[in-house]
Chain A
């Protein structure tokens, strides 16, 4: 049986990785990091699991080492945040192209400049198209669960892709939360030992990270994209297995009071919990409000979104990142693309919120929902709004 403990979420994430018996952790403790890095290092140094901790000189080297280690057939974990993730950027598409199921725990934070290390989703949005599966957790429990699930999803033979688990910096990473920490035997049962598809070894010669000339490059990209598409089924299956064993349900989009909702809100990450309270408040006052919490950013759950929004009049999409000169926030762009062909699609309002750690209260969410109906009349002149910005 899982034990309920109070633990800082970043530390709990590292503990979850340890429960997965990683073989190698390659992490660089750049600012901004989270306690994931130092706790992974503690776990290895204390000999709690039989693993290597590679001390590297940069984030670029952290992921490069992770790739090298994964190429030898190791189960590998890494972690980063903000600028560190950007420094890794060059290597992210290589990890996915090499089909190495590395798991990366990301403390989502703003990127500089202006200099800011507080929470938003700008860092991961830059990595959207690098071919990684992206999960978004709304609380500490989900961080722990998703970290364990991530290995099982990524390592599946139909997938073989790296997975990142996103947790809001500070709002989650630095909070002490009550968490049901699974027992080792439970995790062992859920996640069998890693059987790599291939590994660099004298007995099994293989070339990894090969060249693809123009006549093969497009085929290689399509193969990777199809693996990403195939992961939808595997993610659903892994989440079903998880629910069966641990009793906690996971879906690409978790709906809250959405069935008969006229005004829907969509959030990603920890804000979902605050927004949920706001929705309940609005319901008390007779507003037909509902909430969609997006848990799977890549592959994007197009079908689920269509189904969940088909009866709504207005959809309020919140974004914690900016696409300068673009159509609004990156999440909203995706949502609009998903619903474009739907005959009865809701009006879509996009608020850019919580940027660089700007606090959001329940009344902010209530306010956004109330103003949404008004905002739809102004569209598309004001495609998106910086919520709460001083004019």
Chain B
């Protein structure tokens, strides 16, 4: 569960497991699930933004030059970005 702290006992559960702290899901690093990571080869990239749109984690960001990068704290390695990229600019490589 990464470093996220939750309620200790059932009495500490908020009714309905409601969470009142906005943005708290950021503390859950889904990146720990990953077996492969996407690697961008920018020379092939046409900056269409498809990878950015399709990423189910919403963890792909555009950099200053208009290329795309994944935040590896949240990238779960699903490979959707690589599958959707038309020019084949993204390769999934094994994690060490």
Contact = CB atoms under 8 A, between A and B. Distances in A.
A322 B19 CA distance: 41
A222 interface: yes
Q: From DSSP, what is the main secondary structure of chain A's interface residues?
A: loop
A389 B71 CA distance: 68
Nearest to A213: B1
Contacts of B20: 198, 205-207
B28 to A, nearest CB: 9
Interface stretch (A96-104, A171-179, A183-191, A295-303): A96-104
A208 B18 contact: yes
B17 A97 contact: yes
B15 A220 contact: no
B41 to A, nearest CB: 35
A226 B10 CA distance: 9
How many residues of A sit at the interface, in one of the four size bands? 20 to 34
A129 interface: no
A337 interface: no
Interface in A278-321: none
B58 to A, nearest CB: 16
B10 A223 contact: yes
A206 B6 contact: no
Nearest to B16: A99
A74 B46 CA distance: 48
Among A208, A212, A219, the one with the most B-chain Cβ atoms within 10 Å of its Cβ is A219
Nearest to A227: B15
Contacts of B25: 207
A340 B65 CA distance: 74
Contact of B9 (A208, A213, A219): A219
8 contacts: A197-B15, A198-B18, A207-B18, A207-B19, A207-B25, A219-B9, A219-B10, A223-B15
Interface of B: 1, 6-7, 9-11, 13, 15-20, 22, 24-25
Given A98-B18, A198-B20, A207-B25, 12 more contacts: A99-B16, A197-B18, A198-B18, A207-B19, A207-B20, A208-B16, A210-B17, A215-B6, A216-B6, A219-B10, A222-B10, A223-B15
